[in-house]
């Protein structure tokens, strides 16, 4: 099996492992507080980790992939980042908005994701993922800016910091900035993205659903006894 870049594989695995570990922390907090916003944020982290793993496999082992599996893997590398963006957007919607605004934006976001998934199933064009990510990030930034400026929510500055660091990493990647011949722009992006995921993790821990739906996992009342008046 031919390996195209060992350093990419190492940084991919590192980013995916750290992201999954942070997702576990979010899951524990979501279960403790029974908070839907944190649960959605956790789902976003899992989708990011999945996209990193599939992307690493594609870049490193693309020359040795079976022809039947390669298209499915390629599609997964495009769908999962979009799914992550959707879950992050839904998370901030639950944290910073409510009512009709939340319902409308969430419905549009879900419909966009469904159409996007169908489109990339027949069109192998990664630039679509970039455009979708930029659009989603723009909406999330608007919501977080509103949360930080008007609502004074403690999670918003962390989320904005994470997005800012992520954008810096993307600029370095697109500019093909590297610090060593054996540590290219993709490796540098992965390392920067680890810092971004930590900031997003801190923001996710502070998310709270503005309109929580009570979830009672345990019975609080005794069952009626037949024949008792």
The residue whose two tokens read 């345990």 is 218
What pTM does this model have? Answer: 0.83
Question: What pLDDT is attached to residue 153?
Answer: 86
Question: What pLDDT is attached to residue 161?
Answer: 95
Partners of residue 67 on adjacent β-strands:
none
Q: Which two tokens stand for residue 15?
A: 């980013």
Classified by CATH at the fold level, domain 6-205 comes out as Rhopdopsin 7-helix transmembrane proteins (1.20.1070)
Residue ranges, the chain, pLDDT below 50: 1-4, 214-229
Question: What pLDDT is attached to residue 149?
Answer: 80
Question: What pLDDT is attached to residue 36?
Answer: 93
Question: What pLDDT is attached to residue 220?
Answer: 42
Question: What pLDDT is attached to residue 31?
Answer: 95
Give the angle 80-62-190 at the CA atoms, nearest 5°: 50
Q: Domain spans of the chain?
A: 6-205
């Amino acid at each position: 099996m031919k390996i195209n870049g060992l350093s990419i594989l190492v940084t991919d695995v590192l980013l995916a492992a750290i992201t999954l570990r942070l997702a576990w922390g979010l899951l524990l907090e979501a279960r403790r507080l029974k908070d839907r916003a944190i649960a959605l944020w956790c789902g976003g982290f899992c989708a990011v980790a999945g996209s990193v793993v599939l992307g690493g496999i594609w870049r490193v082992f693309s020359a040795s992939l079976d022809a039947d599996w390669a298209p499915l893997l390629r599609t997964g590398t495009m769908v999962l980042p979009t799914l992550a963006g959707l879950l992050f957007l839904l998370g901030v919607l639950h944290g910073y908005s409510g009512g009709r605004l939340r319902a409308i934006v969430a419905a549009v976001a879900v419909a966009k994701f469904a159409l996007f998934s169908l489109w990339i199933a027949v069109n192998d064009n990664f630039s679509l993922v970039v455009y979708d990510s930029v659009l989603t990030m723009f909406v999330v930034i608007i919501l977080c800016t509103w949360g930080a400026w008007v609502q004074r929510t403690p999670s918003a500055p962390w989320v904005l910091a994470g997005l800012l660091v992520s954008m810096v990493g993307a600029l370095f990647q697109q500019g093909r900035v590297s610090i060593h011949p054996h540590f290219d722009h993709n490796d540098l992006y992965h390392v920067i993205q680890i810092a971004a995921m930590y900031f997003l993790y801190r923001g996710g821990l502070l998310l709270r659903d503005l309109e929580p739906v009570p979830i009672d996992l345990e019975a609080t009342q005794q069952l009626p006894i037949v024949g008792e008046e």
